[in-house]
Structures are given as structure tokens and as C-alpha cells.
Amino acid sequence: MRIEEDCVGKMEVPEDALYGIHTLRAAGNFPITKEMVHPDLIESYIQIKKAAAKTNCEAQKLDVKKCDAIIQACDELLSSGDQSGFITPAIQGGAGTSTNMNTNEVIANMAMKLRPKVFIHPNDDVNQAQSTNDTYPTAGKMAMLKLMPNLLNEIERLVATFEELSRKFKNTIKLGRTQLQDAVPTTYGKSFHAYASLFKRDLRRIKTASEELKTISMGGTAIGTGMNASKYYQEHIVKNINKCSGMNLKSDNDLIDAVQNTDHFVTFSAALKTLAVDLSKVSNDLRLLASGPQSGLNELHLPKRQAGSSIMPNKINPVIPEVVNQVAFEIIGFDATVTAASEAGQLELNAFEPIMFKSILTSEEHLTRAIKTLIDHCLTDIEVNKEKCADDVRKSAVTATILSPELGYVRTTKIIKESLKEDKNVKDILISKHILSKDKIDELFSPKHLVNG
């Protein structure tokens, strides 16, 4: 064990640990969850520290040997992917200071391990010209952007899948329903196309919301005034972060605003929540349309994924839409958390970014996996019970709505009532009473005419 000291006192730290006393205190202070800070946030933090060392050296504020040691340590951590030294819990007090200090300590100790003759101080060297208050939100935004490509790819796959289903079932007629009551006919092609359009909007919405994440507060330090950061550093730090990360970030025009306000996280979280709501709505539709099979709608046949009951033989449940529903419920809750945390910010800083980042990063990952699961385990092999759908349309009295332009609303209503009361087909009533010619009836009740095709 080694002894380290901070403003609170002394502590024993494991001899070979890359972290230090600040990290150890955080690990002990926040036993809320076993979930650690997201790996992409840690990776982003290391890239920030590497860029900061380079920028401070260029500004002649950091010794070249110290700079080289810090950069070598960062490169080692990034290339190895070893994050075992990062032990701060995802939920933490202190506005992210614990994660920042964890990063400073790991990099400093790694640098001295690689270059024993060079002393690196976590605060004075690794954290030079920085504060948790500009580095932590920057790392959080970078992590969110890094998770975006996978999420966008799955949404695009979802759109493409529904478009393919739309083409496959283009002419498959079905009964529409409004407020769970029979409505005029449509086709599964049109229904699936509507789902594709829905998720296209989600795709645009999320892309638009993510643009705000590309504007960062680096150089603002503690409250956005830039205290302890050189002018050169403020002008070049974002460019160097972009070089280290391969990203396209830009500096905020108002660093004080950027440090204290978190509305961009609310906007992004809201876009994720909307996607979750849409996924849940569609999953509800799939479960309802597949209900039965004997006593439900039985229009869709979802792939059989597993036994649905421990007591009822051969019972199959719609487990894939169900799990997507549950992910959606979770994301809606995460969005409420982000909203509350953003609102609770006070004066020059919001202290609650840790829970925002945990919520948003988890939302991105779970939505990505949920969509992939829905596509691969449900939508790809979904089938339509074409005979049942066509039979429902033939039997439905509501199809008589097509008669309104010919016979008027009142007369059509009477025909529908008669059909329901006597359990007769509308077409048979029209023919038996010679209300319209058979050719006209066949024309009006043709599938193409019924769906306004």
C-alpha cells in the first residue's frame, strides 16, 4: 500500500493502482450502483487530456518532457483499451469531479510508470488549464456522438425493413380500425409504409438534436470565464481535440452559457424518448394484430421465439414486441430524469450531469439493441394472414362507407344497421333490393376502390 494525502486527509491506496486518493474516496462515497462510468466517456476524457497536454505545450505552459509523458500515457490507455483503473461509479456527486480526477490520476501514474524520471502531477500537469466543468460535459457529448452511428444505422435498417414489408404486402387488403372499432379498409402495404415514414421522422429528429452536442465548452474552465487557461489554449484546444478524436467539434460562442446550461441534453434526450414512444406504439400494434390466434385479431403471424407458458402447452407470446415495449418505458423514465436534472441546475453550474449522462448513454445503447432485436427476431420473418384479413373486409358492414357518395350518409347508415342486425353481407343487401346494379356494386367493392388505390 502507498499513502496519499488530499485536503480531507490521508488514505492507503493499493501500491500498483493507477488511480489515487481522489478516485478511492469517490468509490467509497457513492456505493449506489455497480455500473461504472461509460467506457466511451472515459475514452473521450483521455482524448481531451491528450489534446490539453499538446495545447498547453504549444502555448509553452507545459514542459515538453511532461507533455510527451502525458501523451504517451494517453496513447497507451487508448490503444490497450484497459479501463481497469477507472473505478468511479456512474452515479456520483460532485458534477463529475470524481471522474475527472480519476482520469487525471490514471494518466499521471501511467505516465510515470512509462517514464519514471518524469514527475507528473494529476492537477498541475494533466488537468492544466481545465476544470471538471468544461471537460466533463465535453467528454459526455463526445460519448453520445460516438454511440450515434450504431443507433442511426439501426433506425435506417428499421425504415428499410418496413419499406420492404410495404412492397411485399402492397396489395394485401385489411380492415382499418379507429378507436379499436372497425373502420374503412386499407392494405398492409399502406400500414407498413406509414411505420417507415414514422421512423424516418425519428431519424431526422435525432440527427438534428445531435447537432447541438457538437458545440462544446472547452476553455471555459470553472464557470466559463476561462480562468487559468491561456488565450492560445482557448483558441486551439478544440482543434486539437478534433485531431485526437477524429470528431468535428466546435467551441461555443458563449462559454458561460455553455458551462451552466444543459438544455442541449434535454433536447437530445427528448428525441430519443420520441423514438422510444414510436417504437412502443408500433410494438403495441404488432401485439394487438397478432392477438389470438383463435379469439383475437389473428391478422399477423409473428415468428415463434419461445414457449409462452409453463402451464399452457403450445402457448406462444409476442416476446419481442414486449421487450421493445419495456425498453421504451425505460427510456421514457430516463428522459424524465434528464429533464428533472437539467431543471435542477443552479447559477453557474449544473451538478447533475452524471445522472444525465448515464441516462442518455444507456438510452442510446438500449434503443440500438431493441431496434436490432425487433428487426432480426420479429419483423424479418413476419407474415400476414391474408385470408383472414380479406374475410374480415368482406364481412364488415363499415365497408358500406363506400356507398355514401352514391346513396348519401343517411341511407348508407340504414343499410349498415340492417347488415349488422340481420348478419347479412352489405353486397347481398344491395343486390337483393336492387339498390345498385351488380356491375356498379362489384366496382365499388373492388379491393382497389375500397382502399382508394
Measured CA to CA, the distance from residue 127 to residue 162 in angstroms comes to 49
Side-chain-facing half-sphere of 43: CA atoms under 13 Å: 17
Catalytic residue among 80, 197, 309, 437: 309
Q: Which of 164, 43, 53, 188 is nearest to 118 (CA)?
A: 53
Find how far residue 149's CA is from the centre of its chain. 11
Q: Hey, which residues does 187 pair with through a beta bridge?
A: 173
Runs of H (alpha helix) within 30-131: 39-58, 64-80, 97-114
Find how far residue 38's CA is from the centre of its chain. 15
Place of cell 458545440: 215
SS3 56: helix
Please list, in sequence order, all residues whose beta carbon lies within 8 angstroms of the beta carbon of residue 433, skipping any fewer than 6 positions away: none
Please list, in sequence order, all residues whose beta carbon lies within 8 angstroms of the beta carbon of residue 241, skipping any fewer than 6 positions away: 47, 48, 51, 138, 216, 218, 247, 249
Active site residue 191: no
Could you write out the three-class secondary structure of 392-431? HHHHCHHHHHHHHHHHCHHHHHHHHHHHHHHCCCHHHHHH
Give me 375's grid cell: 428487426
Active-site residues, by number, are 309
